[in-house]
Amino acid sequence: MTPSSRPTVGRSVLIAAALGVACLGLPSTSLAAPATTTTLPTSIVVAGNAYAQHLLDAQPIPSDAREVASLPTPLAANGDVGASADVRQSHRLYLLPLSVSVNQFVRVHLPAGEKVTETGSGNAPNAYPVYNLGLSLTCVSPHITFCGVYYQTTEAKNGEQELRVDVEVIYLPILHVQMPTSGVVTVTGFGRTSLVDGSSDPTSVVLTHHQALTLRSVVAELKDFGGGVCMEDSLMLKISVEKDGNVVWGATADECPGVLAITSAKANLSLYDRSCSFWHVVDAFFASGTANGTKSDSKVCVDSQDG
């Protein structure tokens, strides 16, 4: 489970601002990001814009293409996430001969680490078809939960070919959430996870202090989620920290959009849980033959939180 090439994580997503799947290398689905409820620091916005521009500069463009300020037939922004205060977007517009195959050129000249994960086309009345090409890539930054590159081409009114290249990046502050470890730390996994019937066959494990410290460390490495909702979901994991008979810190991890939702006296936070490091630690808490649903679903992760 990781961000930057926003894939189909096995569920149809309605809204997702930080499914960083483009950096995951998973297949993409169309997502619409909701507006964030918080204001990002100016430094984060500036850094995110710079990162998006850097990605755009690295994308292959045919030598016959000439950059323009506007297109004869305007092409709308394209990508896997919609407009949101969390999303940094950058694009360039080009005109080039119809004889140039942008699709073929891009595939031959893909930068290292990038791959084609989306293709498609669209039609509208009294208009030429629009062809789309989406790329996934690895965006190495603890700030990034998603990044993607998108090419659109169509025939221009003057007989040339139009090209729009978009980059989308979700670039968020680093949170470093600290899970308390001085109480009784319990993790609960499930033998079955189901979209229809809910998760069942729970297995709860009380962690040793060393295990709690290990869990605390991987939770602290999780990225800010940003916001999102899926049409279908299932509960994968519960974490609770109890002191004097009271739960002082709790968290639940879901399958889609991939959120570790934290509740405590200090704050309610949402972290992006598609970190393989996190799930490798969690899976090790459960004995063989237990929490198989949780272990199976946790395989939908990414090797690194860097993406």
What is the reported pTM?
0.67
pLDDT tens digits, residue range 110-168?
999 999 999 999 988 888 999 999 999 988 788 888 899 999 999 998 889 999 999 99
Query: Could you tell me which residues come within 8 angstroms of residue 53 by beta carbon, excluding any fewer than 6 positions away?
Result: 90, 167
The top-scoring range by mean pLDDT among 30-34, 81-85, 92-96 is: 92-96
- Cα–Cα dist 188/59, whole Å: 44
Domain ranges in the chain are 4-171, 184-297
What are the tokens at 58? 């690295």
229 forms beta bridges with 15
Query: Bridge partners of 25?
Result: none
Structure confidence at residue 38 as a pLDDT band (50, 70, 90): low
Q: Are 216 and 183 in contact (CB under 8 A)?
A: no
Confidence band, pLDDT 50/70/90 cuts, at residue 31: very low
Q: Measure the CA dihedral 249/255/5/71, to 10°.
A: -100
Q: How far apart are CA 157 and CA 23, in angstroms?
A: 36
Angle at 215 between CA 87 and CA 238, to 5 degrees: 75
Contact 31, 15 (CB under 8 A): yes
Distance CA 175, CA 161 (A): 45
